[in-house]
Amino acid sequence: MEKSNCDSDEIKMIVGLGNPDEEYKNTYHNVGRLFLDELTKKAGGKSIYKFPNGKDFGFIKIRNFVLVVSKTYMNESGLAVDQALKYFKNKPKEMIVVHDDSDKEIGTYKKTFAQSSGGHKGVESIIKIIESQDFYRIKIGIRPQEETIRKKASDFVLNKITKRDKEIFDKIFDEIINSINI
């Protein structure tokens, strides 16, 4: 997959985008949160987030990183990210946002820095509220591999992840974790 200059020495916070409710837990739109669960497991921790009073985010400290999830829905992710950046006194460039990408096929991912939202509503919310796009992103492909007629993202992002696709995500998560030296 594509490499970037994402230096784990400057990264302090990793945000996994997704929706908070149990009904969305294992959906394609929540691969960012699922990635954080895998990262936590690989680091020997448990996915039990602390939720500061009056804040829209939860966090786990793993090694030198703070892993952040939002209590808001995907399209309002910027509220939680802005609060977390301020709470931990981090700059946007010290953050990686991990999220689904319906334009990329399952089994692929891409690391980027300082790019537009590309139509992703969660990323769009973050850019608008923190007034910066100067952060790293890891975009994980969720488009079905066997798709012959291109579907709208809204037709599949909230579907439950199949067993086969979960195995593909597990491999991709391992590759990403290794590529950013966590």
pLDDT at 6: 58
Q: What is the pLDDT of residue 3?
A: 41
pLDDT at 147: 61
Look at residue 155 in the predicted model and tell me its pLDDT.
65
Residue ranges in the chain modelled with pLDDT below 50: 1-4
pTM: 0.91
Q: Which of 16, 24, 29, 35 is catalytic?
A: 29
Torsion of CA 97, 101, 153, 120, to 10 degrees: 40
Q: How is the chain split into domains, by residue range?
A: 13-179
- How much is the pLDDT for 2? 42
Catalytic site includes residue 29: yes
Contact predicate 98/126, CB 8 Å: no
Q: How many residues does the chain have?
A: 182
Fold classification of 13-179 (topology level)? Rossmann fold (3.40.50)
